[in-house]
Structure formats: structure tokens, C-alpha cells
Structure 1
Amino acid sequence: MRNPLFRPRALVAAGTAAMLALGAAACGDSGESDADITFWHIQNEDPMKSTWQAMADEWSEESGSTVEVSAILNEDFKARMSTQTQAGDLPGLYQTWGGGVLAEQVEAGLVRDVSGLPCLDKVNPIALEAYTIDGKLYAVPYDQGVVGFWYNKDLFAQAGITAPPATWDEFITDVQLLKDAGVTPIALGGGDKWPIHYYWTYLVMRLAGLDGLQAGADAGNFSDPAFVQAGQLLADLAAMEPFQEGFESAPYDKTDGEAAVMGEGLAAMELMGQWAPQAQRDNSGTDGPGDALGFFPFPAVEGGPGTVTEFLGGGGGFAASAEAPDEVEDFMCYLLEEENQARVVKDGNMSTVAANPEAVVPEPNAEQQMVIDAMASATATQLYLDQAYPPAIGSTVNDASQGLILGELTPEEFVAMVNEAWAAEQ
């Protein structure tokens, strides 16, 4: 399997003087605490919010060390981590998706090398790839999966659709059938931007193939016609107005966001990762689509070398600050104990990263089985671009994706915008 981690040739760890000043003002959010370890994560809804807290409390009681846990909304977490990275003051243990963001923190000397953890035999080696930089491990995973379309079978049936689309042309046809049936085809958290970039990334993966995407990143240039064509296909989709009303400012994971729209049965599908079913329930306050929920891979695009077995994917992990006490390694291993991995899978409805999956998930539920089956079919994976690339590039891809579907950028302007960001990194 392809290593999903893009390793940039040059990482710019220093910010502007203003950014440093902002970071200095916030310095202490993570470091100044009576606790031995500060622990930041993004599971801010129960049951996982309480599960992480319980694990921290249990380990504290056993070890005699203390853990101060902070559950932070996804977008707020990213903003705070950017500030803390600029200040050089990271939490003792914190959420990471790996890739270029983690690599930049490593380049700045802010992250602990955990290659020697004695508990790594409890983890599937594939799940460590996104957190491995220059042969060293800088985080441990707790979840791993792929991005695909989660869809409501009942709403598909209402539109007369009997099977998920296998090609982009079939997908576009189905979008129109759903609209004709009075069903909102796609839920989208356009205000958060990153859900949009999944569409553009997948279209590039199908049109250029993973080798073409990697070649563009290696060169720091996305001028290959496939990148422009991907933008045009996404712009054409947006022109069909397939998204829910107010998608432009909608978040992903709040009561008025993408996940809630899917959970309430108000849209037929969303392009999202393995966490989607639980997020649908959490944010809608409902049981979600239930047995009507299905999953299909991003369709093939005619004429492109990419295949439906090449997935965009990744998961969540925890990295430790270089300044964290040595006890943080023991806490990381505690989280990886099989019984604790089983709690994460059960309470968070997550996909296991265990070396021995049967010991952690002896009887996966239907949603977990869908992800397991997709991962088993995968011939290659690509980490989310806003994490795989340096932060300046990833954020530009997200910004450009939003501009494209809002009609503020042409496909050519999208590519030019990202190329300018690449040039600034070199």
C-alpha cells in the first residue's frame, strides 16, 4: 500500500512577527497547568468525551500522575494548535492527523519521537504510516479509515435509484434524479471548507491517478490539465445546486451542519470519513438513518487512470510534545491497551487500528463493517490534502475549493492560487 504521507521538500516553521506575537500572548494555554500532562482532543460529544476523560482518570489513579483533559471543537482546535505551534508551546498530548502539519511541528523540534514505545506491537503498522517522518514515529493512532459517500437508501429509492453510482456520469444522473424527486442530493458543510476539498481531491485522484497527484506535489505545481479538469467537474456539480439550503456557511459538526442534515434524513448523501455515522447521530440528536445508511466509494471518472479502490483516507492519532514528561509515553501505551482500544471502537463507533482486530472488534456493527470492507478493498490511499501538505498549501486548497463551488474562482484560478502557495513555500 502506498504510504499516504507526503513529505515536503522544505518546511517553513517560522511565522511572521505578528503571528509570533499572537502565539506568545496565548502561550500558557497548554503549558501552564498544575497537571503533569495536558491532553487536547476533538471528541467533544458523549460518549467519547467521557470515555477519554475516564481513561485519563483511570491512568492517573494507577500512575500517580495527573492529566488535564480539554475537549475542543474541530475548527477551534485547529486554530488553537496553529497559535500554539507558532508559540512553540504544544499540549503534552494532542490530536493529530499526521502529514505535513505534523511534519512542520517535527521540523520545529516540538514533537516527541515515540519510535521506541514498547506497545507498538498492538497497532497495525499501516495505521502508523501517516505519523512516520524520516523513519521515526511521532504519534500513535486511535482510528483509521477512508472517505466515501454515506447515503440514505430510502431517499435513493424515493428517487428511483436502485444501486449506487459506479461512474461520475452515473453520479451526476443520480443527483438530477434526486432533485427531480424533491430530495436534497448532498449535505455539505461549506463553511468549514475542508469537506469541500474531498471532492476536488478525489476528482484529481481519478483523473490524474495517485502518481499524477504525487508528481504535482513533488514539483510544487498543479498545472497538469487533470487538475483544471477536476475543478471544472466540481464547478459543474455545484452549478446543479445539489447542496442543502445555507450550505455556504454551514459547519460540518454542529446542530445546523452537514452531519446533522444527514442525521435528520434531509439529504441523500455526504462525502465523509469513517466517523460520519456517529457524527450524524451526535449532531442531529436522532438515531440517524439507521438501517437505511449505506456506503459507496467515490465513483470512477471516465478516461482517468484512477480506480475506485484508491481511497482518500486517514484517521486520528495523538502526538506528544517534546516538552511533555516521560510519563506521557506510559499514558499513550495505556490508550493502546486492547481493552481500551475496544472502548474507543464501541463508544466512538470508530474503526480499529489494532494489530489483532478480532481481539478489539469481535463483532463489528454494520457501519464498522462497511469501513472494514472498504479498507480491505483498498489498493492505495492518500492522506487528506489539508493534512498531507504543509499548512500553507493545505489551507489554500481548502480556500480554493470553497471559492470554486461558490463561483468565486474558475478552475484555472484555483490551480493558479495553489501554485502561488507552492511557490511561496520553495
Structure 2
Amino acid sequence: MEKSVKRLGILLLGLMLIVMSACSKTSSQSETAKGEIVIKFPHYYVGTDPHAQWFNKVVDKFNTDHKGKIKVVTEEIAGEQNYVDKMKLLLQSGDLPDIGMSPLGLLDLAYKAGKAVDLTPYLDEDGEFKSQFDPKSLEVNTFDGKVYGFPTFRGMMQYYYNKELFEKAGIKQPAQTWDELFSQFDTLKAAGITPVSMDTAETGWLTSLWFNAMIGSHSPEGLEFMNTYFPKDFNKPYIVDSLEKIQTMFKKYTTKDAVGAKYDTAAMHFLNGETAMIANGPWMIGDFSDTKKAKKGLDKQIGVALFPENTLFNSPEKGYFVLSKDKKQADAAVEFLKFLVSPEHQKELLVLKGELPDSPKVEITDDVKQKFPILADFLGQSANAKNEILYYQKTWHNNVQNEVSNIYPALANGQLTPKEAAQKLTEAAQKN
């Protein structure tokens, strides 16, 4: 009996300590907030991500300017795919942050789940704010006539090449056709140079850009396909032909670690001067002169080119979105997003990293072009593009995007034929 009483006493003491701890924690949180509205914002602008320096500076400035009223509390999640996976779990659980980001179709999922906040009223009540956006970008962020995302940049992509390696192999200029490009691959390989950086993990971003450019420049039908949202049938001659080219690139023209590689590994090879070409957007330009990431002097060796057949990715982006359940929280979240996506901060990102702003109000001035001559060349060539296409992360179903990470290794290892790979993509698309 005495032992039972002692056990009961210990149990009650433990419960009291738990309650006191919880009360203390709640009190501490409210004292820290001091009446501030706390906005939770998980993000993947972490570490070496080109946006990290810019993002942290903007958050710090906002919190200083709004001290005592609104405080943005961020959570760092390393890796785009890790971010998407966590946000998917949060969307299912209902334990939502206030602000989300839109990689890999995440805005679409938030809207379909009924969790995204309609941002149209905020645009309607602030005409000046609304006018800062490209109408085409707002259209991409619109579902059933209502806007759910605020974008900051445009998805324009070409490919970069190492002039020094081209010169070493005797190549004078970028290829105009795909046949010429593959001939250059052979020339580079014969000179002991690995032609191109490729990857397969996390939807194979670099590889998929080559794949999409091949489809979009193949024929009028291929161009239409790459500008069609959520296609269901990939059993097309131009897709099979493009998969054959990708299979050949894996087998003959890329690094030994390309199969299974993430973007960072593939990019590292190019930044170290170990590969001659890489497909990517202007946000990579800042990395070329960053000696923590790139070989010293690399920026002086880099050229930029349209994909063969004068092909360019030119895609409006889906933007940041709000998930706050409470109107007061939502208002505060929008207040921060207005600050984050302002033309002023888009210009900062342009100057810092060479990333193309979404807002037509941001002028790309001569000083920016002087700082980033590669960007000036990029923009000049973009004006001459013949085939302008969207890219897979904007137009293909999420499960199709994920399926490419399965078919690329299988193609490289000969486990799938290009026709079988096209069928796999079709089967994934038709599950939606």
C-alpha cells in the first residue's frame, strides 16, 4: 500500500512538472511575441542556395521595420525535394505554416487541398501592387478566376558552355542543330573533355531541361506539347526520339556519377571546369564568379547559348502563397509577401545573382549588364528565340515529374528502351 502511494505521488509530481513546463513555454512564447503577430515561413533558401543571402537580409529588414507588430519566423529545410515532402505532410495534417513556396507543383496541391488563401482581394484593393506583376505571371498563379500566388522571377533558361574547353577541342561556336551538338559532344570527348553535366535525382533538373528542349524543338507538334498543361500521352515519336538522345548522352557524354546524381553534384563538375556544358537559368550566373563554388576565373570563360533550333525556356513562375487559417494572420503574411516580392527586392536579387525579375517595373540597367555580361548576352539572344517553351515542372503532373527520376537511370543502364520509357510516363500521367 505504501509503495502504491509513493508511486501515485511520483506520478502526480511528474504530471505537475509537465503542466508547469507547458505553461512556462506558453508564457515564454507570448512574452517573446509581445503582441506581435508571428508568421511561420518554412523555406529551402539554405546554405549555398543562391537566394539564401538575399532572403535572410529581406526577412531581417522586415522584422526590424515591423518590430512589435509582425515577426516572420523562418524554418530552414535543406533541399527542394525535402521541402516539398514536408509541405505535403503538413497539407495532409492541417498543421500549416502561414506561407509556402511553389516548387514541383506545390501551389497546385495546396489549392486542390483547399488550403491556399485567395489573394485576389489584396490585389484588388491595392492597384499599385497589382500593377507590379506581369499579367501572364498572375494568370499562371490563377485557379478558377482567383489568384493564389505572388511570383518574383521568370523561368528563362538557355545553356552555358566553357569557352576554354571549346577552344581546346577546336569548337568555334555553339551548335545550331541537335546533330551538330552531338557532333560537338564527340569532338569534346575525343579531346579528353566530358561534354555535359547531367543528373537523375529530384526529377533530374539539368537532364530534363535538355529533354524538354529536344521535344519542343523537334516539330510543331513537339512545340505544342511543351506548351500544353498536364499532357496525358507521352507515346509520341518526338518524345521517343528525344529519349533516345538522352539515353545516348548518359551512355557516352556525361560524368560517371551522373546516374543518381543530384543537381549540386552535376553543377559542381561544371563549376570546377570538368564539363563543357550545363543547362540552367540565369540564377546560376552569380555562381561563376563565386570562388567558394567555382574555379577561379571561371566567369571569364563562360558563354551562353540558345538550345539548338533557337530554343528558349520562357516560363512565368508560380509564386509564394498563403496558408493562414486566420484572417489576421493572412493579412500579416500578405504584408510580408508584398515586401518580399517588391520591385526593390527583385532588383536586389537581380544585382546580387543576375536572376531575371518577374516585374516589368524592374529595369535591367546598363550597370547590371556590365556586372553580368553573360546576362546581357543571355537577354540579347533571348530576343532571337524561335521556339519558346514552358518546362516540365510547370506543365507535367507531379507524379510524371517524379517518374523521370526512375526512367533516366533505367535508360542509362539499358533496362528500358526509349519506347518503354515513354509508356512509363504515359502510365504515370493517366493515373491523375
1:136-167 deviation per Cα after TM superposition (whole angstroms, max 9, x unaligned): 22211222132221111111111000010010
Asked if 1:354 corresponds to 2:359, the answer is: yes
SS across alignment from 2:357: coil
Instruction: Measure how far apart 1:265 and its partner are.
Output: 0.8
The one-letter code sitting in structure 2 at the alignment partner of 1:85 is: L
State which of 349, 353, 357 in structure 2 corresponds to 1:344.
349
Distance 1:38 1:377 in 2: 43
Task: Give the equivalent residue in structure 1 for 2:257.
Answer: 246
State the secondary structure of the residue aligned to 2:430: helix
Contiguous gaps of at least 5 residues in structure 1: 1-32, 301-307
Q: Deviations over 1:241-284 (max 9, x none)?
A: 2112312232212xxx1121111111101112222233454873
Task: Tell me which of 316, 319, 326 is aligned to 1:317.
Answer: 319
Letter paired with 1:186 = V
User: Following the alignment from structure 2 to structure 1, what is the Cα–Cα distance between the partners of residues 375 and 229?
Assistant: 34
Q: CA deviation at 1:42?
A: 2.7
Matched residues, number: 380
Pick aligned residue for 2:70 from 65, 74, 78 = 65
Whole-Å separation in 1 of the counterparts to 2:301 and 2:61: 38
Q: When the two structures are superposed, what TM-score results if normalisation uses the length of structure 2?
A: 0.79
Residue number in structure 2 paired with 1:82: 88
Aligned counterparts of 2:85 and 2:159: Cα–Cα separation in 1: 28
Kindly provide the amino acid, as one letter, of the partner of residue 399 in structure 2: A
Contact kept, 8 Å, 1:142 with 1:344, in 2: the verdict is no
1:268 to 276, 289, 308: 276
SS of alignment partner, residue 270 of structure 1: strand
CA apart distance, 1:226 = 1.8
Q: For residue 137 of structure 1, what is the amino acid of its counterpart?
A: V
The corresponding residue for 1:160 is 170
Choose between structure 1 and 2: higher helix proportion.
2
Residue correspondence of structure 1 range 180-329 to structure 2 within 5 A: 180-192=190-202, 193-207=204-218, 208-213=221-226, 217-218=230-231, 220-239=232-251, 241-253=252-264, 257-279=265-287, 281=290, 284-287=293-296, 289-300=298-309, 308-311=310-313, 313=315, 315=317, 317-323=319-325, 324-329=329-334
The structure 1 residue matched to 2:46, chosen from 41, 44, 55, is 44
Give the letter aligned to residue 320 of structure 1: V
> Match for 2:298: what amino acid?
P
Measure how far apart 1:190 and its partner are: 3.0
Q: Report the aligned-residue RMSD.
A: 2.8
Larger radius of gyration: 2
AA aligned to 1:126 is K
In structure 2, the gaps of 5 or more residues are 1-31
1:405 corresponds to which residue? Answer: 412
- How far, CA to CA, are the matches of 1:48 and 1:310 in structure 2? 23
Residues in 2 aligned to 1:374 and 1:91: alpha-carbon distance in whole angstroms: 41
| Bigger mean CA offset, 137-146 vs 317-326 | 317-326
Aligned to 1:18: none
User: For residues 382 and 213 of structure 1, what CA distance do their matches in structure 2 show?
Assistant: 6
- The change in CA–CA distance for 1:71 and 1:351 in structure 2 (over 3 A counts) is farther
1:271-320 per-residue CA deviation (whole Å, 9 max, x = no partner) reads 122222334548735456212111111113xxxxxxx2452645573222
What's the TM-score once normalised by structure 1's chain length?
0.80
What is the match of residue 11 of structure 2? none
Counterparts of 2:164 and 2:273 in 1: how far apart (Å)?
A: 9
2:102·2:319 contact (CA, 8 Å) conserved in 1?
Answer: yes
Question: Judging changes above 3 Å, is the alpha-carbon distance between structure 1 residues 312 and 356 closer, same or farther for their aligned structure 2 residues?
Answer: closer
Aligned residue for 1:151, secondary structure, equals: strand
Contact 1:194 1:398 in 2 (8 A): no
For residues 21-80 of structure 1, the C-alpha deviation after alignment (integer angstroms, 9 at most, x for no partner) is xxxxxxxxxxxx977212233322367423312212222232321111233322322222
Contact 2:153 2:356 in 1 (8 A): yes
